[in-house]
Chains A and B, each alone.
Chain A
Amino acid sequence: GQQLNQSPQSMFIQEGEDVSMNCTSSSIFNTWLWYKQDPGEGPVLLIALYKAGELTSNGRLTAQFGITRKDSFLNISASIPSDVGIYFCAGQETGNTPLVFGKGTRLSVIA
């Protein structure tokens, strides 16, 4: 099935640093989503992107839908301890295809 390449797999950063992670696909997507998962919880939606080139912010988080429609990135500015968790990208080719997920980026923040 469709695979998304998400990188990096894990990150260890100092509190206050900025973070960047990205996803690429081999095919064109109409939708890109970014989720965060805390231990023992289901993934929670952070940002949804529906248009190529779209740049959307949610507080300290910013995500962009790549112009080629084959990639997306998520930036977190001025990281804080509660940013710790696993971040997943997800994409959908069309409205009739299932949402596919990257393997996640595990973020650790050192105070």
Chain B
Amino acid sequence: EDQVTQSPEALRLQEGESSSLNCSYTVSGLRGLFWYRQDPGKGPEFLFTLYSAGEEKEKERLKATLTKKESFLHITAPKPEDSATYLCAVPNNSGGYQKVTFGIGTKLQVIP
């Protein structure tokens, strides 16, 4: 069964203090990995898709990287508006893309 583990569960940063969130996964045959941002009481908002090990993608202060065993979401000089829960997810590998397994997320708080 696919498993996704995110760490830390919660992270508190000062504004401008860069850090990284980790997502490790156990899948037989990685087909890709997704990162989402979720604000309280709202649905997840798509951020990135990473398709293969070595791939990197950037969006504003966020940069996602992927290796064969884990993914990192690097946050450079965060601002209070970056406060949210960041979720990673992997698609099921059993021939389709019908099911996605999510981690529990990292709750990020950026303090002014």
A binds B: no
